[in-house]
C-alpha cells in the first residue's frame, strides 16, 4: 500500500513539474514584480520584505500554496503579486473581481479618466496607490502593495482592456501554436510566453525552473536597455489606451474593425500562427517591461 502511494505521488509530482502548463499563468506576474524589485534600492526592498513578513500566517500560506512552494518559506514580492488571483475563491474578496480589467464599448476609440470611476482596473490602481501611501494599517498596506503589483501586470496584458460580451477574449476560441490554451485570453496569459511548440521539443524534458530563470534573465537584459524614463512619463489612462490600441490591431485577431466599431470574432475559431506568436511575444515582453518600470516608479514614490 505504501509503495503504491509513493508511486502515485511520484507520478503526480513528475507531471506537475515537467509539464509546460505548470504555473505559467502566474509567471508573467512573478517576472514583472521580480524585475521591479530588482530595480528598487535596497531600502525600498527591505520595506517590501518587512510588509510581506507581517502578513497573517493564513495569507502567507495561501500565497506560497498558490505558487506551489513550501508554506513556511518567506514571501517574495514576485510570488505576492499573484495574491489577487489566489483570493478569487474567497467570498470576502468578491468585490475585487471586476478590478482586474476594464470593459469598454465596441465603438470606443480611446479611454479617458471618466470611462470608469468604479470597479475596474484603472480605478483599482489609483485606489491602491493611495492606500499604500496613506494607510497606517500594516495589513492594509501589504494588501495594497500586492494588489498594485498584480494590477500593473493586468493592465499591460492587452485583453484586460476589452469587451464584456466575449469576456475579454475568453470566448474567442483558438487553435494554439504553442501549448494547450484554447482561447485568446488564456493564450496571452500563458502560452504566448513559450518559445516553441511541444511538438518541436519531443526529445527534451521541459524544465520549468530553468525556463523561468532564462526568461527572467532575458527580460532583465532587455530592461537595462529600455527607455525607462519615457515609459515612466505616462499615467494609468495612457497604459489602458496602449492596451486598447493593441487589441484593435487587425492582426491581433480579437475583433473585426469596421467604420464604427470593433465587432466580435467569438464565433470564429482563430489559428495562432508561428508569425503571430513570434510577433506578439515581442509585444508581450515589452508590455511586461513597461509594467515593471511603471510599478517601480509608483513604489519609489509611495513606499
* Domains contained in the chain, CATH given: 18-302 (1.10.575.10)
Q: What pLDDT sits at residue 201?
A: 55
Q: What is the mean pLDDT of residues 158-185?
A: 96
With 0-12 CB in 10 A as exposed, 13-18 as middle and 19+ as buried, what is 47? Answer: middle
**Per mean pLDDT, which range of 16-25, 166-175, 209-218 is the poorest?**
16-25
Q: What is the DSSP letter of 74?
A: P
Tell me the pLDDT band of 203, cut-offs 50, 70 and 90: low
Strand locations in the chain (E): 102-103, 161-162, 174-175, 255-257, 262-264, 270-271
Which residues are bridge partners to 161 per DSSP?
102
Query: Has residue 18 got a pLDDT over 90?
Result: no
Strand locations in 191-258 (E): 255-257
Tell me the pLDDT band of 245, cut-offs 50, 70 and 90: very high
Helix (H, G, I), strand (E, B) or coil at 172: coil
Distance, in Å, from the CA atom of 226 to the CA atom of 32, rounded to the nearest integer, reads 14
**Per mean pLDDT, which range of 9-18, 169-178, 221-230, 236-245 is the poorest?**
9-18
Amino acid at each position: 500500500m505504501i509503495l503504491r502511494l509513493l508511486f502515485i505521488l511520484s507520478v503526480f509530482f513528475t507531471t506537475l513539474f515537467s509539464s509546460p502548463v505548470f504555473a505559467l499563468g502566474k509567471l508573467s506576474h512573478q517576472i514583472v514584480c521580480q524585475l521591479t524589485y530588482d530595480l528598487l534600492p535596497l531600502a525600498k526592498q527591505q520595506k517590501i520584505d518587512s510588509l510581506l513578513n507581517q502578513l497573517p500566517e493564513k495569507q502567507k500560506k495561501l500565497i506560497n500554496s498558490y505558487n506551489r512552494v513550501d508554506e513556511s518559506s518567506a514571501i517574495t514580492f514576485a510570488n505576492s503579486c499573484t495574491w489577487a488571483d489566489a483570493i478569487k475563491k474567497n467570498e470576502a474578496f468578491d468585490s475585487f473581481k471586476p478590478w482586474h480589467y476594464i470593459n469598454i464599448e465596441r465603438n470606443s476609440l480611446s479611454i479617458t479618466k471618466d470611462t470608469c470611476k468604479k470597479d475596474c482596473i484603472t480605478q483599482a490602481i489609483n485606489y491602491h496607490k493611495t492606500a499604500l501611501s496613506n494607510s497606517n494599517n500594516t495589513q492594509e498596506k501589504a494588501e495594497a502593495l500586492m494588489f498594485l503589483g498584480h494590477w500593473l501586470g493586468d493592465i499591460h496584458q492587452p485583453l484586460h482592456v476589452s469587451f464584456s460580451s466575449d469576456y475579454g477574449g475568453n470566448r474567442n476560441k483558438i487553435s494554439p501554436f504553442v501549448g494547450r490554451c484554447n482561447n485568446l485570453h488564456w493564450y496571452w496569459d500563458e502560452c504566448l510566453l513559450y518559445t516553441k511548440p511541444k511538438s518541436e521539443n519531443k526529445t527534451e524534458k521541459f524544465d520549468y525552473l530553468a525556463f523561468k530563470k532564462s526568461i527572467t534573465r532575458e527580460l532583465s537584459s532587455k530592461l537595462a536597455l529600455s527607455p525607462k524614463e519615457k515609459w515612466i512619463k505616462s499615467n494609468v489612462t495612457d497604459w489602458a489606451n496602449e492596451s486598447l490600441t493593441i487589441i484593435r490591431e487587425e492582426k491581433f485577431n480579437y475583433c473585426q474593425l469596421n467604420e464604427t466599431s470593433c465587432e466580435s470574432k467569438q464565433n470564429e475559431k482563430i489559428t495562432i500562427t508561428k508569425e503571430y506568436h513570434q510577433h506578439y511575444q515581442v509585444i508581450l515582453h515589452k508590455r511586461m517591461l513597461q509594467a515593471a518600470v511603471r510599478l517601480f516608479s509608483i513604489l519609489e514614490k509611495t513606499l
